[in-house]
Amino acid sequence: MGSSVLSKPMATIGIPKEIKADELRVALTPDGVKELVTQGLEVRVQSGAGEGAGISDDYFAQAGAQIVSKEEAWCTHLVVKVKEPQKEEFCFLREDMVLFTYLHLAAYPKVGEALLKSKATGIGYETVQMQTGFLPLLAPMSEIAGRLAAQTGANLLERPKGGRGVLIGGCTGVSPAKVAVLGAGTVGWNAARVAAAMDAEVILLDRSPERLRKLETNRNGRLVSLVSSRGLLERIVPTVDLLIGAVLTPGGRAPTLITEKMVQQMKSNSVIVDVAIDQGGCVSTSKETTHTQPTVNIHGVQHYAVGNMPGAVPFTSTEALTSVTLPYILGIAGRGLEKAITERPELLSGLNTVNGSICHPGVAKALGVAPRHPMACLR
């Protein structure tokens, strides 16, 4: 795809229905659609796209969207989704389109291969990064996933759910559950904060003393922060009731912090919630699961590794996602990708694939290919 295509406004925006297992979110709310239509853009929403989030076709139509077939939603200049394209959607990828969604190509290399083969431009929400390191389009879903991790872990500790039969906050005269959270980013901090609010004994681990020090002023409840190390993990993991994996490598694969041996040493019927599974997982025994079948028992430990955790609360997640993606959609569609990047430089790091090349170094490293500089890809 030449730069002439990327430099032009993209008059049509497609919102396909998500088909990933148990994915109930939709990429835009009706209010988001109305904002785009007001700016003179044409929005095509696949019929039924919002059903899972409780948003009917009528609401989208009233906002000005055209309700169309799957094929018509994909046959647009800019396709906006929630999750990476599934195998049966690869046929819709093409050179003259921009795909804007969570890609997580390090965890889903087949998607990367399909994007490269089609020469489609793929922008990953999760790699749009400010100079400060902040990930504006990942943050709201990370916040939701972190809060869900604590909530879900507490539920799975109940005996009927296969857990140890431990109440996360304990009660008068009885010790609370012990929770370890790996990573003090948005996911980890929200998970630790919610677990602490439920009166659990929480250990928050991160390799950055500066990050932990920054969070220290907001610490409450039975929450302790520690600088992580291999030896420390080996001592702590066998003692916990709930382990939450919340580490992040922008664009790349999550580091494996918990070995199979560590898992084998955990308490019988304890729980692991591996939020990092959409980047390959940070627990060696984790395998991606779904909301329909969320857990698998390995070495006597409940593993929860759903790759689209915020999909459990699709209405909240859709509202939160639209609130941060809409300005970028307006920029890309209304002024063209090149101008949008000039106005919002953080979009440059969001470029994962352009014209058959990988242009994000973290993604390229994870996929074992040589990257091209994103500006070179745009020329």
Catalytic residue annotation = 104, 278
Q: Which of 333, 361, 367 is nearest to 348 (CA)?
A: 361
Closest to 187 (Cα-Cα) out of 227, 135, 258, 122? 135
Rounded CA-CA distance 76/61 in Å is 18
